Amino acid sequence: MAIVSVQDVSVSFGGPPLLEHVDLQVEKGERVALIGRNGEGKTTLLRLIGSRLLPDGGRMILQKGLSVGSLDQDLPRGLTGSVAEVASGGNRATSSKSPQDYEVATVLTKLSLNPYARFENLSVGFKRRVLLARALAIDPDLLLLDEPTNHLDIPAITWLEEYLLKYRGTLILITHDRAFLRKLATRIVELDRGRLLNWECDYRTFLERRDAALEVEEAQRNRFMRKLAKEEAWIRQGIKARRTRNEGRVRVLLKMRDEQQALRTRTGSVRMQIEEAERTGKLVIEAEKISHAYGGSSLIRNFSVRIMRGDRIGIIGPNGVGKTTLLRILLGETPPEKGVVRQGANVEAVYFDQLRAQLDEDRTVQESIADGKEVFDLNGGQRHVIGYLKDFLFSPDRSR
């Protein structure tokens, strides 16, 4: 018997339908991965299943008495308190320890979290660990995870994989981590152009079957378009189409035109064009004997580095060791407590932070890119903002 039933559900946010007449049944004990391109509605579907969003049409049915734990993709704003308080949802026992308190303590220990630390003072990676602990600690019947590996270090991801493989409840997750998908998913549900496609297989098999299905779909589309072009050429002859015996053929053509409008075009690939800055000298950044501490803990000690033009550098390490702090120091956004950081001539830095703090969520995509202008300058020329955003797979409706 299904514990989750999605029946003929549609959702729209003022534009074209994001989900259109979709159906889904999830059985107890399944590990279902929701996959699809950005903006296809994966998070929306997860929120529907978690009863945090109502559909515009259709029905959402969850088994009676079902307990649900969830981890959102983004960090909630304004969440404060000790790690233990946040992980327990603010429901700390005052006198005696409840079973949930012991479960919270166990999960916090396994995730290397200090229960007395202040949540608001933690790094993004450790905050994600705390919220993950909150979802797991209630031992839910249904676990909904939206990009659970985001901001987690390798040991935490490894622990989570092992935990979920042993988890006896039902798991529905969204992730772009292919290794994570291969290890965990027992079924793939693909969101594609408003449709929901069910694949009863693991991720590796899904890739093979989907490629074959897309080839068939493309061949069928090409045959349809050739036939439509032939019929359109015929109708332009005019007088023949008005004869009584040809009225049926005209009706077929009108139906084909309707079908063409309903055809779902495959989304292309991103074509990135980046603004080219003035050429720098060979030296980009030089740091000399820098040191920095946070909250009484030393993060960086007597560190020196020279970054040259053309270098590609990865900064790795466990959550909370100071990777983001080091990056901000090298960019000049945070001064080091000791040492010197110098940037080379003509260096223009672009910083994409973890929390996307530079984006105003109240602005449209078009406003964020070009301050509401129709045209903007790029690499010495002018680009129409809608055309530019199409290169990043934003449709005109979603750009405005």
Q: Which residues, 6+ apart, have CB-to-CB distance to 151 below 8 Å?
A: 124, 125, 127, 128, 319, 354
Q: Where are the domains of the chain?
A: 2-205, 206-262, 283-343, 365-399
306: Cα separation from own chain's centroid: 34
What does pTM read for this prediction?
0.74
DSSP 22: E
Q: Which residues, 6+ apart, have CB-to-CB distance to 342 below 8 Å?
A: 285, 286, 287, 288
User: One fold for both 2-205 and 283-343?
Assistant: yes
List per-residue pLDDT tens for the chain, 400 residues long: 799 999 999 998 877 788 889 999 999 999 999 998 888 899 999 999 999 999 999 999 999 999 999 999 888 888 999 999 999 886 544 444 566 678 888 889 888 899 999 999 998 889 999 999 999 988 899 999 999 998 888 888 999 999 999 999 999 999 999 999 999 999 999 998 778 889 998 888 888 888 887 777 778 888 888 888 888 887 777 655 556 557 777 788 888 777 776 666 555 566 666 666 566 678 999 999 999 998 788 999 999 999 998 899 999 988 888 999 999 999 999 999 999 999 988 888 888 887 677 777 788 888 888 777 888 877 777 888 888 887 777 777 777 7
The whole-angstrom separation of Cα 176 and Cα 198 is: 18
Give 2-205's CATH code, choosing from 3.40.50.300, 2.40.50.140, 3.30.70.330, 3.30.360.10. Answer: 3.40.50.300
For the domain 283-343, what is the CATH superfamily, name and number? Answer: P-loop containing nucleotide triphosphate hydrolases (3.40.50.300)
- Number of neighbouring beta carbons within 10 Å of residue 202: 18
- Residue 383 belongs to what H/E stretch? strand 381-384
- Number of neighbouring beta carbons within 10 Å of residue 320: 22
The whole-angstrom separation of Cα 146 and Cα 41 is: 12
Q: Regarding beta strands 187-192 and 195-199, do their DSSP bridges make them parallel or antiparallel, or are they unpaired?
A: antiparallel
Distances (CA, A) of 323 to 45, 122, 304, 355: 33, 13, 15, 15
Coil, strand or helix at 400: coil
Name the one residue in this structure whose structure tokens are 């068939």: 216
